Structure 1
Amino acid sequence: MTSPEQAAPVTAPPVETPERAAKRKSATRGAFFAEFVDMFDIYLPTVVLTPALLYFQPAQLDPGTAAIFTSLVFVTTLVGRPIGAAVFGALADRVGRRRSTIISVTGFGVITLLIALVPGFTTIGIASYWLLIVLRFLDGICLGGGYTGALPLAMEYSTKSRRGLLGGIILSAFPLAYIVINLVALAGFALFPLAGPDSPYAVWGWRVPFVLGALLAFVLAIYYVRSVSESEIWEAAEAAKSEGTSQGGAGRPLLAVLRSPTFLQVFLMMTGFWLTQNLVTLFLPTTVLRNLVGLTNTQLTLTLLIAYVCLVGSYIGSGVIGQRIGRKRFFVIGGLLIATVGVALMAVLVHGKGLPFGLIILVVCAFSVVVTAPWGVVLPYITERFRTDVRASGFGLGFSVSVVIPSFYAFFLEGLGGFMPYATAVLVLLAFGGLLGAGGAAAGPETKDVDFE
C-alpha cells in the first residue's frame, strides 16, 4: 500500500477552458453553501434550541441532571461528525465527491426536518428527549459527511494559484453562518415569547429555524444535482485505476489514511488549532465575556456579531496571505502569534471587568482574528496533503477527528486549575494549542505548489 501523502504528479494539471472555469465556479459556490448550511445546522442547538430544552424535559428537574441533558444534545452531534466524516469520506473516494455530497446533504435535511417535528414531554414523556438526542446524533453523522465531499471537490477544480483565495472564501461561510443564525434567533425571541415550557417559543417558535435549516439543505442537494459536475481529477484517477496505470490504488481509503504519517501530522496540527478555536467560539462568550467581564446579553450578542463580521474578511485575507507566503509558513507564524499576541489579548479580557465597552469589542475582534487566522488556510492545505484516491477521507478525518480531544478543553482547564489560578490556566492552554498547531505544521511539507495527482 502506498502512502496517501501527496507525491509528484503523474499527469500534467488540467488545461483551463471556459467549460472547466464554469464547473469550478459551480463547485466553489456549492462548497461555500455546503459549509454555510453545515455551520448553520451545527449552531441551531446552541443558539436556538437551548432556551427551549425545558419543552423536552420533566418539570422540577434538578440542575445537575438538566446540565447533563443539555450537554448531551451537543455531545451526540460532536460524536456523530467524525463518524460521518469517516463514512462519507470513504464513500466520496469510492463513488465520487458529488454523489456523496448529495446523499449526506439530503440526509441531514430530512433529519433536521424530523427534529422540527419532535413532540414535547407532555405528549410522549421522556421519549421526546431521547428522540431528540438520537436525531441529533444521526444529524451529526450526515453533517460530518456534507463538507467531506463538497470541499475537496471545489479544491480539485481550483487552479493551483487560486486555492488559497477560494479556500478562504469557502471557510468564511463559517462565521457568516454564525451571524445569520444569531439574527434568526434574535428575530425568533422577539416574535415568540419565551416563558416556560408552554410558551409560544418553547412549543413551536424554535421549530421555525430548524425548518429553515432543512429547506436550505434541500436547496443545496438540488443545486448539486442540477449544477455541480463530478471532479474531473477524481474521474481521471478512477479511470487510471481501472486501467492499472495508477500509482495509488488504496483499496481501503479509510485505513490507508489512518495508517499514514501524513494523517498523524495533520491530526496534531489540527488538534492544536481546534483547541484554540474552541477557546474563541465556546469559552470566550460565556465564561470570559459574560461571567468574568460581566457583559449583558445584548452587549454580548453585539460584540460577537461584530467579531464574526471581522472574521468573514480575515478568513479570506488569511487564505490570500497563505497562498503568497506558503501554507506551512503561515501556520507556523500563526501558531506563534496565537501563543504570544493571542495570549496577551486573552489576558486583557480575563481581567477586563470595568473596561469600556468599546475597548472590549476592539480587543475581542483582534483576539478572534489572531486566534482563528489558520482556518482561512486549512482547506487547501489538508486537501493538498493527500492523493486523489484518499483525499476525501484524508480531509474528512484530518478536519473532524481532530476536534474530539480539544472538545474536552473544560476538563483540561479544571486539571490545570489545580496547579495555578484559573485565569493563568486559560492562557497556558491557549499557548499550548498555538504551539501544537505550529509544531504540527512545521513537521509537514510546504504544499502550495503541489499538483493534484
Structure 2
Amino acid sequence: MSSRSSTSGVQADDNRRARHAVRGGILGNFVDQFDIFLPVIALAPAASTLLGAENVIATAGLVFTATLIGRPLGAAIFGPVADRVGRTATTRVALAGIAATTLLIAAVPGHEVLGWGTVALILTLRFLGGVFLGGEYTSAVPLAMEWSAPRRRGLASGLIMAMSPVANASIAALVLVLLAVLDPASYAAWGWRVPFVVGGLLALVMLGYYRRQVADAPASHQAPAPASPLRDVLVGPDRRVFVQTFILMTGLWLLTYMAIPTLTAELTRAEVFDGRGVTLALLCATAVSAVAMALCGHLSTLVGRRRFFIGFGLLAAVLAPLTFLAIFAVDSPVAVVALCAALQVVTVSVYGPVGAYLSERFAGGVRSSGYGLGYSLSIIGPALYPYYLPPLQEAFGTYGPVAVLLAIAGLLVALGGYRGPETDTRAPLR
C-alpha cells in the first residue's frame, strides 16, 4: 500500500471517528438535559401524591436542589478523571450512573408506602444522578469539540447546546400526552414513572453507542494533564481563565432562570393562559430557541467568540428586559407566544457557542476540569433566585425586578466575554 493510500485511510478513519464523537456529544447532551428536566416537568402533576401533600412546594424544591448540588460536585469529581484517564471512558461511567439512578427513581414506592422514606430515596437518587449528570457533559462535550473540524466547531457546539430546549420540549410533550390519556389519579400513581423509564433507557442506548462508536481524540489533540487539574483550574495557572468563564456563565445561567422558570411562573400567576396553554406557548418558544442556538454557534465562528459574547450580552441587557415587560403588556395570545419566543432568542440562544468557547479557553490537560467547573459552579447563584427574587418583587413590583435581573445578566455575559481573549476558531484544539 502506498503512503498516500495509507494517509487517506487514516484520514477517513479520523473523519468517521469525528462524526461519531460529535453525534455522541449532541445525542448525549439530549439525554443529559432530558434527565435534568425530568423532576421539574414530569413530577409536577404528581408532586402532592408522590412527595406528600404537606409542604409539597418546599419538598419539590429540595428535589431540584439535590440535583443542583450534585452537578458541580460531579464536575469536580469526573473532570480530573476525564483529563487524566480519558474522556470516553469517563462518559461511559457517567451514562451508566445516569441510567441507574433514573431507572431506580421510576421504581420508587409511593408516599403511601414509605411516607417520607419516598422523599429521602428520591432526594438521594437525584443527588447521585446530579453527580453523574455533571460528569457526562464535563467529559462528552470537550471530547466532541476536540474531534470537531475548526470551521464546524461553533455549529457543533450550537447543535449540542440546542439539545437543552429540545429535551425540555420532548418531556413536556410526553407529559402532555400522558395527561391527555390518563386521569389525574393514574398519572399520579404510575404515569409519572414513564418519562423516567424513557430517560433511563435513553442513557443505556447512549452508553452502548459510546462503547461501540466513540474514542478519545488523537494524542496530538491533547496536552498532558498536570498532577492536579482541579488545583490548576481553581488556584493555579488557569485560575484567571476560570474566573472569566465563571462570570460569563453566571450571566448565562441568570438569563436562563429569568427567561424560563420565572417566565413560566409569571405567565401562570397572571393567568395569561391555563396550565396547558402555558406549556404549549413555551413549547413554541423552545423550538425557536433551539434553532437560534445552533445558528448562534455558527455565527460565533464567523464573527469571533469574544465579539459574539460582548455583542450578544449588550443586546440582551437592552432587549431582554423590554421583551419580558412587553409579554405582560399585550392582550393578544398570539402576540404573547411571539414575544415568549423572542425572549428565548435574546436570552438562552447565547448558549450556542458555549461548548466550543469553554473548550477553547482551557488547554487539553485541564479541559474537562475547566469546562465542568466553569459550567457547573456558576449555576449556583442564579439558581437560588427563589430566595432573592420574591423579596425584590414584594418591594418593587412583580415584573420590574425580573427586568433588572435580565439586564444584569446580559451585562455579565458582555463583561465575561470582554475579560477573555479572542480564541482561535481556525485551529484544532490542543
| TM-score w.r.t. length of structure 2 | 0.94
Check conservation: 1:31, 1:150, Cα contact below 8 A: yes
Check conservation: 2:296, 2:349, Cα contact below 8 A: yes
CA RMSD of aligned residues (A): 1.7
1:212-231 matches, within 5 Å, as 212-231=198-217
- Tell me how far apart the structure 2 counterparts of residues 261 and 229 of structure 1 sit (CA, whole Å): 31
> Which of 43, 60, 73 is matched with 1:49 structurally?
43
CA displacement at 1:415 relative to structure 2: 4.5
CA displacement at 1:350 relative to structure 2: 3.4
CA displacement at 1:234 relative to structure 2: 7.2
1:86-97 matches, within 5 Å, as 86-97=76-87
Superposed CA deviations along residues 181-228 of structure 1, whole A, max 9, x for unmatched, are 11111111122211xxxx221121111111111100000001000011
Going from structure 1 to structure 2, the CA distance change for 1:342 and 1:125 (only over 3 Å counts) comes to closer
1:328-407 matches, within 5 Å, as 328-352=306-330, 355-407=331-383
CA displacement at 1:426 relative to structure 2: 1.3
1:274-353 matches, within 5 Å, as 274-287=253-266, 289-292=267-270, 294-352=272-330
CA displacement at 1:449 relative to structure 2: 4.0
Which residue is equivalent to 1:28?
22
Check conservation: 1:81, 1:145, Cα contact below 8 A: yes
- Tell me how far apart the structure 2 counterparts of residues 299 and 334 of structure 1 sit (CA, whole Å): 30
Which residue is equivalent to 1:244?
none
Check conservation: 2:21, 2:143, Cα contact below 8 A: yes
Indicate whether 1:209 and 2:195 are aligned: yes
Check conservation: 1:293, 1:351, Cα contact below 8 A: no
Check conservation: 2:81, 2:90, Cα contact below 8 A: yes
- Tell me how far apart the structure 2 counterparts of residues 336 and 91 of structure 1 sit (CA, whole Å): 37
Which residue is equivalent to 1:452?
429
What secondary structure does 2:347 align onto?
helix
CA displacement at 1:114 relative to structure 2: 0.6
Check conservation: 2:50, 2:188, Cα contact below 8 A: no
CA displacement at 1:66 relative to structure 2: 2.2
> Which of 146, 149, 155 is matched with 1:159 structurally?
149
1:3-42 matches, within 5 Å, as 17-42=11-36
Deviation larger for 71-80 or 402-411: 402-411
CA displacement at 1:419 relative to structure 2: 5.4
Superposed CA deviations along residues 335-362 of structure 1, whole A, max 9, x for unmatched, are 111111111111112334xx11111111
Going from structure 1 to structure 2, the CA distance change for 1:388 and 1:234 (only over 3 Å counts) comes to farther
CA displacement at 1:235 relative to structure 2: 7.5
CA displacement at 1:309 relative to structure 2: 1.0
Going from structure 1 to structure 2, the CA distance change for 1:58 and 1:403 (only over 3 Å counts) comes to closer
Unaligned stretches of 5+ in structure 2?
1-8
Going from structure 1 to structure 2, the CA distance change for 1:420 and 1:286 (only over 3 Å counts) comes to closer
- Tell me how far apart the structure 1 counterparts of residues 161 and 51 of structure 2 sit (CA, whole Å): 36
- Tell me how far apart the structure 2 counterparts of residues 403 and 428 of structure 1 sit (CA, whole Å): 19
- Tell me how far apart the structure 2 counterparts of residues 51 and 344 of structure 1 sit (CA, whole Å): 32
- Tell me how far apart the structure 2 counterparts of residues 298 and 66 of structure 1 sit (CA, whole Å): 21
CA displacement at 1:255 relative to structure 2: 1.2
| TM-score w.r.t. length of structure 1 | 0.89
Indicate whether 1:143 and 2:133 are aligned: yes
- Tell me how far apart the structure 1 counterparts of residues 179 and 227 of structure 2 sit (CA, whole Å): 51
CA displacement at 1:411 relative to structure 2: 3.0
CA displacement at 1:27 relative to structure 2: 0.3
- Tell me how far apart the structure 2 counterparts of residues 379 and 308 of structure 1 sit (CA, whole Å): 19
CA displacement at 1:90 relative to structure 2: 1.2
User: Which amino acid is the alignment partner of residue 204 of structure 2?
Assistant: F
> Which of 67, 84, 107 is matched with 2:74 structurally?
84
- Tell me how far apart the structure 1 counterparts of residues 156 and 377 of structure 2 sit (CA, whole Å): 24
Check conservation: 1:24, 1:158, Cα contact below 8 A: yes
- Tell me how far apart the structure 1 counterparts of residues 280 and 22 of structure 2 sit (CA, whole Å): 30
Which residue is equivalent to 2:88?
98
CA displacement at 1:417 relative to structure 2: 3.8
Percent of residue pairs bearing the same amino acid type: 38
What secondary structure does 2:312 align onto?
helix
Which residue is equivalent to 1:242?
none
CA displacement at 1:16 relative to structure 2: 8.4
Which residue is equivalent to 1:11?
none
Going from structure 1 to structure 2, the CA distance change for 1:131 and 1:94 (only over 3 Å counts) comes to same
Unaligned stretches of 5+ in structure 1?
1-14, 239-248
Check conservation: 1:88, 1:100, Cα contact below 8 A: yes
